[in-house]
Structure 1
């Protein structure tokens, strides 16, 4: 199934994990993909892999904390592909909590909010005129179950909750202009952030009703749905893709301790 023939897509933090899996999935379905990441070399490897598999991809080094870099990435996507139809906001930052809340660091709090929430705002603001012009524009924000209930990480969770709110308000603004805006809230996903912690991941699977943690391709499949015409009457939605963890009392607090 090639739902994205003729589409141009920009994905942030696409050099690995969820972003890379999403880039591959949308390219397999026919999209031309701009793989952007703060690590330009990582973005280049993903884009090269897509091209080796017969897809269309370019790479662009972009720090979503930098307004000029974001605007340059959007401009490059439009120049390279002639249009922009889909933006996937995947970039985030997550610092560990201090043992006591009163010891939290202002700088770490600011970074988590700036990259995770304000970065998505910068990207959406730069991309929106082009998404409107496409006539089928869509933004898919990658949130987290942390923005729905308590799994720790104060700053990251606040940023993800803010991203869900931005999804709703932007959906209301952009809907009459022909652009849909939705958010996916993943649970635990096996990415590089969990490198070296296989035992912890194995223990976590028992806390998920579906009996496993997520894989990047699980989130990529949900992005493909929300970005496609299959979701043409879906906007402002928060879609948990979490193996059922937000539907039940999972015991994560016990593990976190």
Structure 2
């Protein structure tokens, strides 16, 4: 198969939420984009909705299936230049620490494991093609506990992603690869549907408006704006940063 020669932006978890919003912005900027997702239907919907904006490729991969992750790693290693990566795949279901089971704990840790080795494959691709930029979607919960949303395992995983961001920034700088992260607070995304019925989502999340000094929860475009900036050459002196994109939560709460 003849490989394309242009560079691609790869978004893990790009069929919905922050990943989808970022894919849309990058396509509007003229980037060729590859999105990875688990759901065939969501990938098909994204393809239909976004293809008019530019070149969009979709790859299906269940990040909880080691064999599929391994195949994705090989595809990435052998592919055309990938000069941007966004790790946006996520899972969130508040659970009290004393009630956590091994299986739901692993929901977070296995996801981190997949992202770790996918990022390794992308970094190897970037090294072959003179560098790139990586942005991880972390979380405000990795910085700050919130009693109303007990999230010990989730926060542990996201804190690990923040730490990985800083370590990779140090290790990959010599290869012209920048690595940053964003740490959102409450953002309206499908991730909350793991424990909130879709029809109740708006009302439930509206209860967190006042939690943010800026007066409202975030929308996916709020985070995508920062992700797109960090990926771009406009941020070419920024690496190892974990940016709070949180409506002011880490500054203080109302």
Tell me, yes or no, whether TM beats 0.5. yes
Contact 2:77 2:122 in 1 (8 A): no
Residue 165 of structure 1: how far off its partner (Å): 0.4
Q: How many residues align?
A: 240
Contact 2:27 2:33 in 1 (8 A): yes
Residue 192 of structure 1: how far off its partner (Å): 2.0
**C-alpha distance in structure 2 between counterparts of 1:59 and 1:158, whole Å:** 30
The residue aligned with 2:164 is 166
User: What root-mean-square deviation, in Å, do the aligned CA atoms of Structure 1 and Structure 2 show?
Assistant: 1.8
TM-score where L is the length of structure 1: 0.87
**C-alpha distance in structure 1 between counterparts of 2:116 and 2:88, whole Å:** 12
2:155 to 154, 157, 173: 157
1:233 to 231, 237, 242: 237
1:84 to 82, 86, 93: 82
In the alignment, structure 1 residue 216 sits paired with structure 2 residue 220: yes
Q: 1:234 to 1:74 in 2, by over 3 A?
A: same
Residue 111 of structure 1: how far off its partner (Å): 1.7
Q: 1:192 to 1:102 in 2, by over 3 A?
A: closer
**C-alpha distance in structure 2 between counterparts of 1:27 and 1:74, whole Å:** 23
Deviation digits for residues 17-41 of structure 1 (CA, Å, limit 9, x no counterpart): 1111111111111111111101122
TM-score where L is the length of structure 2: 0.88
The residue aligned with 2:3 is none
Contact 2:76 2:125 in 1 (8 A): no
**C-alpha distance in structure 2 between counterparts of 1:223 and 1:7, whole Å:** 18
Unmatched 5+ stretches in structure 2: 1-5, 193-197
The residue aligned with 1:70 is 69
Contact 2:138 2:162 in 1 (8 A): yes
Q: 1:86 to 1:63 in 2, by over 3 A?
A: same
**C-alpha distance in structure 1 between counterparts of 2:56 and 2:69, whole Å:** 18
Residue 109 of structure 1: how far off its partner (Å): 0.7
Which segments of structure 1 move beyond 4 Å, counting only runs of 4 or more? 74-80
Contact 2:92 2:191 in 1 (8 A): no
The residue aligned with 1:135 is 130
Unmatched 5+ stretches in structure 1: 1-5, 251-257
The residue aligned with 1:104 is 100
Find the residue that maps to 1:249 and give its secondary structure. Answer: coil
Task: Give runs of aligned pairs for residues 14-53 of structure 1, distance below 5 A.
Answer: 14-51=14-51, 53=52
**C-alpha distance in structure 2 between counterparts of 1:34 and 1:21, whole Å:** 13
Residue 74 of structure 1: how far off its partner (Å): 5.1
**C-alpha distance in structure 2 between counterparts of 1:205 and 1:111, whole Å:** 28
**C-alpha distance in structure 2 between counterparts of 1:191 and 1:28, whole Å:** 21
Contact 2:50 2:56 in 1 (8 A): yes
Residue 193 of structure 1: how far off its partner (Å): 3.3
Deviation digits for residues 225-256 of structure 1 (CA, Å, limit 9, x no counterpart): 11111111111100011110111034xxxxxx
